[in-house]
Each structure stands twice: as structure tokens, then as C-alpha cells.
Chains A and B, each alone.
Chain A
């Protein structure tokens, strides 16, 4: 057996079923062996997009996604996607070829360790043929334990050496702890003390709450304490069926939600990082004390602050313990849960500001509202970063199997690959993606990948034919905003040319009609929705124009 064959076996033993990436001479033997071992290879058109797909896979399964790239130029293509995955805390292993150890002048040589470090990924190098098992195990161990991307760098010539050890591969899961982190009883009592003193609590749920299946516990705690429920952006729409759900806490909050946050005297944060966006640097909650529950030893809030009480615990275990303590004390209060607040929330999402629309364009708010209504709730939602996010992250409110906004690293173009990976991970169930035109164009080649693998993703391109974020910033600075305008072709026609389906839409009826056709027969499709540039998102109205809306 050759080392590359053993490496493939090791990946299989780690639970790898799907790999995303591009073949090159640094990884092709390993890939070839993967085919023989029944690992499904998804060949993409850009290595970075492949890693983005593995990232999407990891975000929805919480299991290591696997990407691959050849040495040197294949690796450098990973940069943006690698940093994005790192910021998303995605467990991921990227199998990368490396230039031969016997050839210092190899054309595709690269200091891949330095590159991985610069991209915020961990780095594991297979330094000798005998270390194949150890290298794979260590890469998966780090990915799982630290929930981050790991570059496994394997010199091409070492892959061709003989492997003569017949001992079974021991996967990284055999080394990892399985126990759920339980809260310290004293901290639970202190949390209950703080909650009993609070009159207006808010429960702020992040991904950690979702991942620990804390839904029932959160609902029970909210009901007992009279708390409103808010989420971080990454837990968007989770528990949204609750009548006292105020949506996202932070940049994408409604004006009503921001006022309610200001009134709050206690925030019970569960599995949320409480970063600058979620708390608006802490300014969103000027009167609140924080109880922060997270499975990590400690999480620093935005601005280098710490919560008044930090409880290290798995989200669900932590909330259940606090709820039990409050039950023992027979604590119950109305808090925020009253008719007046319900009335305030009833119209919280209405945005009545009128804008003149350019001819042949739609109000993006109308498009979002119509789609949230039209798309059945068993269909998942992905939304991109960039200016479009200011509409989608606020106006899509329904809970869905997967709701995945993209904001990590603040870059555009990363959500289509992540959506493809997530859909493949979840058994090819239909989903929609709303993203901007610049984002879509960045990885438009991957639509062809979608067609080849029949990925049932409908992409709504919110096409205002400009770099939206820059357009509004230039306008706010009284500079020439037209310099950010870039025309696009008919992206529906591009989709058709790639072998999928697509159309251009300039009315809400055209959007609805095309969507209905996709719903009847989901597959790879693009609807190029021409939207107005004159409509400004709520966050931009605040950030760039200082408006109180």
C-alpha cells in the first residue's frame, strides 16, 4: 500500500463521506483512492469555493467538512474561504498537496505553514511517511476540539512512499471527551439571584443554544421570567414562533427591538459570542447586567468586557439548571410579556419609508416580504453578506430547517458555496439563497457545479447593479456614488447557458411566477431580480445617515 492510499483510508475512518475541491497533481492520487473507498468527490471550479462548500457542510452538521487543493497555487486560492471558515468556527480539514521535499526549486513551492497561519487556520504537516496516521488524526482532532479549519499539508513525494503498517487506524473521536459541560451549582444560584432581581430580562440565544437543543428550556425560562427572546444573527429566526420574539439583537434589530433592549435590566445570553454587532459594542443594553452561558471556559464580550456572571455550561444544561432553580424558588413574573409590549411588537417590522424607484426596478423590501410569505417553511434560507443583508436579515422572519446568514469576515461571494455544501450535507433538500449581484458574479462558475450535481438551490440575485455597501458610503460622504456602479448581464440567461434554469424579473408577479415554477420542480436556478438602488437598508440609514429608524 502507498501512503496516499493509507491517507484515504484514514479520512474514511474519520467519517469523511464527501470532499469538495479541485484535482491537481498534489492531491489526485489521494482523490483517486477516495473514489475507490466510496468517498464522494465534488469537483468545483475554484478551490476557494470548494473550501466554502466544506465550510457550509460543517456549519450545518457540526462535523468536520473536508476540502482539498493541490500544492502552491491551489492552496493560495483558499485564502478568503479559509479565513471565513475560521471566523465561522467551522470544523474543517483541508487536504493539501505540498511541493516535494526532495525539490527545493519546485515551481509550485509555497510556505504553506505561513499561509495557513495568515489565514487563521491550524496547520499539520505530514513530515515523514510513517506519520500518515498521526497527521490525519491530529488534523481531525484539532478541527473537532477547537472547531476550526485545519490545513493538512502532505508533500507529494511522501504520498508515493510505501505504507506497511497493518494496524487499524484509530480515529480522533477516540481521544475526545464526550461529556456535556454541566454548570457549577453555585453559579446557577447566583444566576437565579440575578434573574429574581430583574424586571425586564431578555434571553439572547446564539448558535450554541441551537446546537445544544436548548429550545424547550429557553421557552420555559422565557415564560417563567417574562423574558423577551432575541437571537444573534447566526441564530436568526430560531424560536421565532414565540410571540415575544424580537428578532435579531444588534445591527439588524428593528427600532422597536432596540428600544426594548435599552429598557432591559438583565440579558441572559446563551451560546452567543456577544460581539460588537450583537450588542452594538454594549450600547444596545445600557441598563442591563449580563448572565453569559457558554460551554467555553470563558468568552470575552465586545470591548474586552466580561459578563457580570459567566456560567460555563452546555447551553441546554445551563438553562435547564437555572430554570430548575427558579422553579424551586417558585419564581414567576410577567416581565416584558404583557399586552403593551405585544402591541409594540405587532408592527415592529413595518418599514413605511417611501423611496422613488428607478424604472424597471423593484423595491427590495417588497421582494423579501413576498418571498418569506411564498416560500414554504420546510425550505431553508441562506443569505449573503453585503448591503442586501440589510433587507434579508430583517425581513425574512419565518423559522426554517436551516437559516444561515453569511457575515463572517465581512466578505461577499462566500454564501453560494456554503449553501451548496450545506444542501449536500442535508440530503439535497431544496433551499433558497438571497445574495447581491457582485456576490453572485464572484463565484458564478460554481453555478455550473450546482448543475452538474443537481443541487436544488434557487438563487435570488438582488441585483442593483452596483457594489451596494460602497454606493451608500460614497453617497453619505457626498462623493460620486456612480463610481460603484457595475452592470451585469442577464444572470437568468447565464444560468440557462450553464445548463440550469433562470430568468430575469422586474415585477413582483414575475418573481412569484418564476418561484412557483421552481417550487414545482426544484433544481439549480437563478432569478435575476432587478432591484432599486434608491432604497436604503435600515442599518445603513442608521450607520451612514445617522437616522433614527
Chain B
């Protein structure tokens, strides 16, 4: 189990940030290699994600659920899936909370994520997997900060 704790500062007010974070399409847009599919009856989404472990690419099919708590400007993204070869599974939970920044036009996003990879790939990539996930998290927070700072919602 890999745990990631991040806090990112963005140059826009909390309401704008919340508008982006409460939109699953916006969130997934910030994840490199990820695409959101159809929404299911239970509110969750089908999704696909391609991850590069070294030179090898691994494609995952996943189910993603976004749960929001507007009153506290917080939420949770939970996802689970397996690769298209069926040998590797992952499970992840990301909790986020939008907080006030140093100024009224600034915000902070506190993110805690847990990722678990099991199956064949786990034995193949050993410690490299955690570094790949850390890099992906960094890439995600960077993209999210940029997205929030532009204030644009697609």
C-alpha cells in the first residue's frame, strides 16, 4: 500500500476550485493517460488508464466513483480496476479538501491518496511502482493546480 500526502496552492478562490474538483471530467482530465467513459446507474464511471512502467505500457480498465461533501468542500475519489491482460489489479482512494489560501483569491487543496497494486505486475516492478505512482501524483497535482489557476471549466 502506497500513501501519498500532498498540499497544493492554487491562485484562485475556493469556489472556483470546488467547481473543478466536483466535476469528474475535469479531475480525470488532469490524470495523464486517463479517459472517462460512460456513467453507470450507481453514479460511478467506467474509465481507462495507461501507465508507463519503465519502457512498458500497461492499460487498465477501471471503475471510478466520486463522492462529494459540498458543505465541507471535500470529497473522495475511489477507483478499482485491472489491466486488460487481467493479471494485475489496483485499488485507490483519494480524499481531497479545498481550504482557504493566504489571500481570498487563493486556495489550497489537501490531498491524501492510497494506492494498492497486486498481482503479476507488482512482482515485476517492485519498488519502481511506488516511484511511478509518486511521479504520476506529482504530474496530477501540477495539472490540477494549473487547471484551477486558469479558472476554466471545460
Q: How far is the CB of B49 from chain A (nearest CB, A)?
A: 14
- Assuming the contacts A258-B56, A282-B87, A303-B87, asked whether A545 and B121 have C-beta atoms less than 8 A apart, the reply is no
A280 CA / B120 CA spacing, docked (Å): 9
Q: Is the CB of A283 within 8 A of B58?
A: yes
Contacts of A476 in B (CB 8 A): 126-128, 131
Cβ of B124 to closest chain A Cβ, rounded Å: 6
Residue-wise, chain B 114-128 has the 8 Å CB interface mask toward A (1 for contact) of: 000000110111111
Find out whether the CB atom of A548 lies under 8 angstroms from the CB atom of B54. yes
- B127 neighbours in A (Cβ, 8 Å): 473, 476-477, 543-546
Contact between chains at B55 and A255 (CB < 8 Å): yes
B128 CB, nearest partner CB in chain A, Å: 4
* Interface-central residue, A259, A280, A473, A541, by most chain B CB under 10 Å: A280
Q: Is the CB of B125 within 8 A of A546?
A: yes
Cα distance, A415 to B23, chains bound together (Å): 59
B54 adjacent to A546 (CB under 8 Å):
yes
> Which residues 505-549 in A have Cβ within 8 Å of B in the complex?
541-549
- Return A261 CB to nearest CB of chain B, in Å: 9
Is B124's CB under 8 angstroms from A276's CB?
yes
Which among A258, A281, A303, A544 has the greatest number of chain B C-beta atoms within 10 A? A281
Contact digits for A35-70, partner B, Cβ 8 Å, 1 yes 0 no: 000000000000000000000000000000000000
- Docked Cα-Cα span, A286 to B129, in Å, equals 19
A286 to B59, CA, bound (A): 9
Q: How far does the Cβ of A387 sit from chain B's closest Cβ, in whole Å? A: 14
Asked whether A262 is an interface residue with its Cβ less than 8 Å from the other chain, the reply is yes
Task: Let me know if B55 and A259 touch, CB within 8 A.
Answer: yes
CB within 8 Å for A545 and B131 given contacts A283-B56, A283-B58: yes
A284 within 8 A of B: yes
In the bound complex, how far is the Cα of B56 from the Cα of A262, in angstroms? 8
Are A542 and B57 in contact, CB atoms less than 8 angstroms apart?
no
Contact between chains at A542 and B54 (CB < 8 Å):
yes
Tally of contact residues, A, Cβ under 8 A: 25
How many Å from the CB of A445 to the closest CB on chain B? 33
B84 to chain A, nearest CB (A): 7
Closest Cβ–Cβ distance, residue B130 to chain A (whole Å): 8
**Which of A255, A262, A281, A541 lies in contact with B121, CB distance below 8 A?**
A281
Task: From known contacts A276-B120, A282-B87, A303-B85, infer whether A546 and B58 are also in contact, taking CB-CB under 8 Å.
Answer: no
Given contacts A281-B87, A542-B128, contact A303 B57 (CB under 8 A): no
Considering the complex, which residues of chain A in the window 244-303 have a beta carbon less than 8 Å from any beta carbon of chain B?
Answer: 255, 258-259, 262, 276, 280-284, 286, 302-303
Is the CB of B132 closer than 8 A to any CB of chain A?
A: yes
| Nearest Cβ on chain B to A537's Cβ, whole angstroms | 12
A261 closest partner in B (C-beta): B56
Q: How far is the CA of A302 from the CA of B119 in the complex (A)?
A: 12
Tell me if A544 and B85 are in contact (CB < 8 A): no
Interface bits B64-92 vs A (CB < 8 Å: 1, else 0): 00000000000000000001110100000
In the complex, are the beta carbons of B126 and A473 less than 8 A apart? yes
Q: In the assembled complex, how far is the CB of residue A29 from the closest CB belonging to chain B, in whole angstroms? A: 48
Q: Is the CB of B84 within 8 A of A542?
A: no
The residue of chain A having its C-beta at the shortest distance from the C-beta of B132 within the complex is A546
A543 CA to B57 CA in the complex, in Å? 14
B-side contacts of A255, CB under 8 Å: 55
* Shortest distance from the beta carbon of B6 to any chain A beta carbon, whole Å: 18
Determine if B53 and A546 form an interchain contact, defined as CB atoms under 8 angstroms apart.
Answer: yes
- Per-position 1/0 for A396-415, Cβ under 8 A of B: 00000000000000000000
| B125 (CB) vs chain A CBs: closest residue | A543
Q: For A262, give the chain B residue with the smallest CB separation.
A: B57
Evaluate contact between B85 and A542: CB separation under 8 angstroms.
no
**Shortest distance from the beta carbon of A130 to any chain B beta carbon, whole Å:** 50
Tell me the complex Cα distance, A304–B33, Å: 28
Residues of B122-146 at the interface with A, using a CB-CB cut-off of 8 Å, are 123-132, 135
A255 to B127, CA, bound (A): 19
Given contacts A276-B124, A303-B85, A543-B124, contact A284 B56 (CB under 8 A): yes
Chain B's closest residue to A473 (CB) is: B127
- Does residue B52 face the partner (Cβ distance < 8 Å to A)? yes
- Tell me whether A549 and B55 are in contact in the complex, defined as CB-CB below 8 angstroms, given that A282-B87, A543-B127 are known contacts: yes
Which residue of chain A lies nearest to B84 when distances are taken between CB atoms in the complex?
A: A286
From B84, B87, B126, contact of A544 by CB (8 A): B126
Given contacts A282-B120, A286-B59, 14 further A-B contacts (CB under 8 A): A280-B124, A283-B53, A284-B56, A303-B87, A473-B126, A476-B126, A476-B131, A542-B125, A543-B54, A543-B127, A546-B53, A546-B131, A547-B54, A548-B52
Q: Which residues of B contact A (CB under 8 A)?
A: 52-59, 83-85, 87, 120-121, 123-132, 135
